[in-house]
Every structure is written in structure tokens, then in C-alpha cells.
């Protein structure tokens, strides 16, 4: 296994993982097409070869087929990698479900699909308003004591929820959207995570592909691609938001790297316990993304980007309609 990628500790008591992980959702879910299984397995194994030790999936991706894919791909590397998965949705029906009995069922099923004996990191995928977070945390704490789960995580949770959960069962990591294009976590979330010793795993660190510089106002998404429903990516807003891309492109040209690498390096430069999980189905993008760990933005460059980004307001919501209501409780 190549260990050229730097390692980071996810929070005070979390696992040590590669500084950049791999989000596997897009191989099976969300973007309209399901990637070729053999190609996806090869890509995941290539990631391991390149030093990635942190992989992200969930039962709802597919549903189920993404966990199965990740399980098959990583079976030869048991004990060498950290696999995160999630519970919290009703599969086959609408809405959320984090009732204790449901969490237990998901844990057992995920263990089988992932071909592992213990889930490294088990996130609540979205906060369920119908189940007290203390009950959720208590159930995961029991699973940890039973040896079925190692670490407890939350996703898109708000400050009050994180505090309440952490008081019952130590929260190892929070997974929420964070990028140059969505900096809301800086206000309250990141200071809280630092206070409590919780790691941060940004999803959509490249703004759903936007910060790579490969999109413009003429970009069209397939109707099955979830990005076709994202207000921030409709043609009018996309055009207005290109000022963010101009910012990363300018820094990228100066440093002779790509816009995507600047966007990821910016995240890595925020805190030593932040581990982004960009997703891809292409080997060349995987190599490009991991290249962000091979250089650093200086404090001056980080400040320059921050000041410039703070003067730009993103146009459009990051989710449409009902999805927006599930976040930051």
C-alpha cells in the first residue's frame, strides 16, 4: 500500500485516516447512471494503492448496491482501511427512521453487505425529529459495547443536536457539506467540533463538481442526475456563481495546480482534523483529487482566498424543497 498521502486523526479519539477520503455514492446513486461495477471496484482498489484509507458509503445509496460494491472492493484490505456507512432513512418508503430497532437492523445488514465484523464509523444520515437524539446515541453506544460499531457519527446535524448526542455517546465525526462555496459551518459548527474534539468530514467539497471549473452556464444535467434539481446549479445561478470558480482558477494558475486541487487544499488548510471525501468514477480525477494533499496553501494564500470568498454571495439554495428541511436541525 502506498502511504505517500498524509494521515489525519478524525477528532480526539477517532481513527487515523488518509487526509483525503473517497466518497463512493456517485458510483451507484445520484448522478443518473450507475457506473460499471468492475470499473468501480478497480477504482476503489486503485485508491487504496494510492494511499486512501477512508471510504464513505450508506445503505440508501442505491439502495444497498453501493455498500455491496464497497464491501466487495475492500474485502482484500480488511483491517487496513476505515469504512463509514450510515443509517436513518426508511428504505422503500418516504422519510426518516432512526428508531432504535431500525438502527440495529441496518447495522446487521450493513455488516453483511460490507463483509466486515465491525462498522468503523456509523453515521446518523439525517437528524430524525421523531426520535430523541439521546435514544439514537444510546443505541449506537450499545452497538459499540457489543463490538459491532467502533465510532459514532452525525451528518448535517446542528449545534444542539451534536451537544446532546455527544453527552450520551462520544461523537467521533460530523459529516456535512462544506466547501469554498458553502461556508456556513464556520459560524457555529467548526468552533463546536474543535471544543468537543470531533472530526469533520466535508461532503461535496468540490461543490458537486462546480469548483472543478468544468461547468458553465451552458452545462446541462440529465434529469436523473440529482444536480438537475439543485437551485444553485440552474443556468442563471450557475452563471452568477462562476465568480467562485474564477477565484480558485486564479490561485491554481499561480501555483500550477488545478482548481479542484486548490478547493481541496483550502479545506485541508482550515483545520488538521478535517478530511474531505470527494467522489469520482474516473481514475484521472481520483489522482487529481489526491494531488491536493501533496502541496499546501500558505497562511497568506488561505487568508487571501477567505477574504475574496467572503465578498461573494452564493446564488440559489443548495437543496430544493423538502430536502432542505432535513438539514441542520
Q: Minimal CA–CA distance to 90: which of 121, 122, 57, 125?
A: 125
Other beta carbons less than 10 A from residue 32's beta carbon: 14
Contact 182, 204 (CB under 8 A): yes
Pairing, β 7-9 against β 54-56: unpaired
Contact 52, 70 (CB under 8 A): no
Helices and strands per DSSP (H, E), number in the chain: 11, 9
CA distance 121 to 55: 10
Helices 235-255, 299-310: axis angle to 10 degrees equals 160
3-state DSSP call for residue 9?
Answer: strand
CA distance 124 to 102: 12
Q: Which three cell numbers stand for residue 47?
A: 485508491
Other beta carbons less than 10 A from residue 299's beta carbon: 9
Q: Which three cell numbers stand for residue 306?
A: 477567505
Other beta carbons less than 10 A from residue 25's beta carbon: 18
Look at the block and give the residue holding cell 448526542: 165
What phi and psi, each to the nearest 5 degrees, are found at residue 277?
-130, 70
CA distance 307 to 15: 33
Identify the active-site residue in 61, 123, 178, 319. 61
Reply yes or no on whether 319 is catalytic.
no
Q: Which three cell numbers stand for residue 153?
A: 457519527
Give the residue numbers annotated as catalytic, written as ranges. 61
Amino acid at each position: 500500500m502506498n502511504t505517500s498521502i498524509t494521515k489525519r486523526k478524525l477528532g480526539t479519539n477517532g481513527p487515523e485516516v488518509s487526509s483525503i477520503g473517497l466518497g463512493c455514492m456517485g458510483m451507484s446513486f445520484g448522478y443518473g447512471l450507475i457506473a460499471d461495477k468492475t470499473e468501480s471496484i478497480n477504482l476503489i482498489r486503485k485508491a487504496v494503492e494510492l494511499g486512501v484509507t477512508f471510504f464513505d458509503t450508506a445503505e440508501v445509496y442505491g439502495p444497498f448496491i453501493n455498500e455491496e460494491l464497497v464491501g466487495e472492493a475492500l474485502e482484500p484490505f480488511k483491517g487496513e482501511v476505515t469504512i463509514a456507512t450510515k443509517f436513518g432513512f426508511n428504505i422503500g418508503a418516504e422519510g426518516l427512521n432512526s428508531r432504535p430497532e431500525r438502527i440495529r437492523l441496518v447495522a446487521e445488514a450493513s455488516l453483511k453487505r460490507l463483509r466486515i465484523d465491525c462498522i468503523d464509523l456509523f453515521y446518523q444520515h439525517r437528524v430524525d425529529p421523531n426520535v430523541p437524539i439521546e435514544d439514537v446515541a444510546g443505541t449506537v453506544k450499545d452497538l459499540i459495547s457489543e463490538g459491532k460499531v467502533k465510532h459514532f457519527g452525525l451528518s448535517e446535524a446542528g449545534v444542539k443536536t451534536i451537544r446532546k448526542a455527544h453527552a450520551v455517546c462520544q461523537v467521533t465525526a460530523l459529516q456535512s457539506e462544506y466547501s469554498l462555496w458553502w461556508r456556513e459551518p464556520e459560524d457555529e459548527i467548526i468552533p463546536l467540533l474543535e471544543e468537543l474534539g470531533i472530526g469533520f468530514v466535508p461532503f461535496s467539497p468540490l461543490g458537486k463538481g462546480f469548483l472543478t471549473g468544468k461547468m458553465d452556464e451552458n452545462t446541462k444535467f440529465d434529469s436523473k442526475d440529482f444536480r438537475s434539481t439543485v437551485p444553485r446549479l440552474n443556468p442563471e445561478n450557475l452563471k452568477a456563481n462562476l465568480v467562485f470558480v474564477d477565484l480558485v482558477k486564479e490561485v491554481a494558475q499561480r501555483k500550477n495546480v488545478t482548481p479542484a486541487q486548490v478547493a481541496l487544499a483550502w479545506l485541508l488548510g482550515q483545520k488538521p482534523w478535517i478530511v474531505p471525501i470527494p467522489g469520482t468514477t474516473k481514475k484521472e480525477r481520483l489522482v487529481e483529487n489526491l494531488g491536493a494533499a501533496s502541496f499546501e496553501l500558505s497562511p497568506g494564500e488561505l487568508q487571501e482566498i477567505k477574504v475574496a470568498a467572503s465578498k461573494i454571495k452564493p446564488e440559489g439554495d443548495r437543496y430544493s424543497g423538502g430536502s432542505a428541511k432535513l438539514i441542520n436541525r
